[in-house]
Amino acid sequence: MLSGAFSFAPICRTPGITANISDTKYFFWESGDSEMTQPTDDQAPETIRMYGANWCPDCRRAKTFFGEQRIHYEYIDIELFPEAVADVERINHGMRSIPTIVFPDGSVLVEPSDTDLAAKMGLHLEASRDFYDVIIVGSGPAGLTAGIYTAREGLSTLLLEKSGIGGQVGLTRQMENFPGFDSGISGADLADRLRRQAERFGVEILQAQTVVDLDEDGAYRLVRTADGSEYCGGAVLLATGSTYRRLRVPGESRLIGINIHFCATCDAPFYKDRSVYVIGGGNSGFQESLHICQFAREVTILEVEPQPRASLILQQKVADCPAIHVRTNQDVREFLVDERRHLAGVRIVDRATGKERIDHPDGVFILIGMDPNSGNFQHRIETDGRGFIVTNDALETSMRGVFAAGDVRARSTKQAAAAAGEGATAALMMRQYLEKLVTL
């Protein structure tokens, strides 16, 4: 992105994290509120090291790529540590080009594209054929389960994934309610097991693939990706999931999966006899608070508006529960993080009085809604008022031959086990659809 003299401007702090290429570790990254790692002469050899600056768009893109794929790395901001400019010049034979990314094997990528990074990380980027019976978009429980079923039925299956395998499940610390694991299982482990099972049956998985459009060509369905590739299939399953809305305040991203959660069903049992804050005074916040109070000693609902938005029935149920308290006009500004990367406090401003305080709950659930990952398809298929994909009883969308399952689908329950069930159902429906095409 940059060659020649630097002109620096003030920037935010960004994360210092590590990676091991030979045995890739994963995490969820988001810019803006993690500490920087200072460059050292004795850095461990198993560390991806990126030199960059926040004003550099190619640096931001590379960091986003690592974050989406949950790859750990060390980031050295050459503005915060000007002495690192000499390292950049040495590595690039006198040129000042960023991002400069040094890998554990000694290789270097300078201003790499996402395709360059994906190839270096060993991600499967090229499909082995031009046509597939089934194309699945998304690798959460719905997509992977569907792939297991279709591939096992002998249908050639391609699965396209933008980010890390597992979707939201891959970010869940511990799942106690997924059937078959009596001692619980981490989300990352569940995602890895589903992937291995899908690949064992022959599902072809391509990562770092952003699907940008759907189209029709007679009986065939076309899927286009951001890199210009086009994949042709007999049927398509959209299992892109949804994304929990976030507050986007300092400290939030660092505590996700540690003391900040989005799924009460999954994580409430971790807070037995402890204090919990629920952010969000809508139906989700009130409903989930009633579940959380079965475990927590005390639950406090924080709503930013002067009045809760939950239904009157839910408000009455909450009012009847002595362990739940509701506070309105509460504007959460920051999550404080201690040196162990645990929640140290919540900075809150009371909008009615203007006073600021720091509270100390044991955990926080952010329940302010979900946004479906359907934006690239809404011009092709019917969605509801919130963007969730509308399907019929066979899980088929308004575009014939295109199905939807899991959290992206309207009226879905937003639970991993239910998503897996919908994936299996969608697989069976796609098989029936393809059988009818053959007989036409």
Active site residues: 263, 266-267
Contact 232, 217 (CB under 8 A): yes
Q: How many CB atoms within 10 Å of residue 54?
A: 20
Number of neighbours of residue 307 by Cβ within 10 angstroms = 11
Alpha-carbon distances, residue 376 vs 84, 114, 139, 212, 246 (angstroms): 40, 20, 17, 5, 21
Cβ(57)–Cβ(25) below 8 Å:
no
CA-angle at 324, arms to 318 and 325, nearest 5°? 100
Q: How far apart are CA 51 and CA 59, in angstroms?
A: 8
Give the pairing type, strands 324-327 and 298-302: parallel
Find the distance separating the first CA and the last CA of the chain, reported in whole Å.
54
Going by their DSSP bridges, the two strands 220-225 and 230-238 should be labelled as antiparallel
Of 291, 302, 402, 399, the residue nearest 346 (C-alpha):
302
Residue 224, CA distances (Å) to 90, 101, 210 in order: 41, 29, 8
Cβ-contact 150, 249 below 8 angstroms: no
Query: Residues 324, 365: contact at Cβ < 8 Å?
Result: no
In whole angstroms, give the CA distance from residue 7 to residue 75. 19
Of 77, 168, 159, 79, nearest to 123 (Cα)? Answer: 159
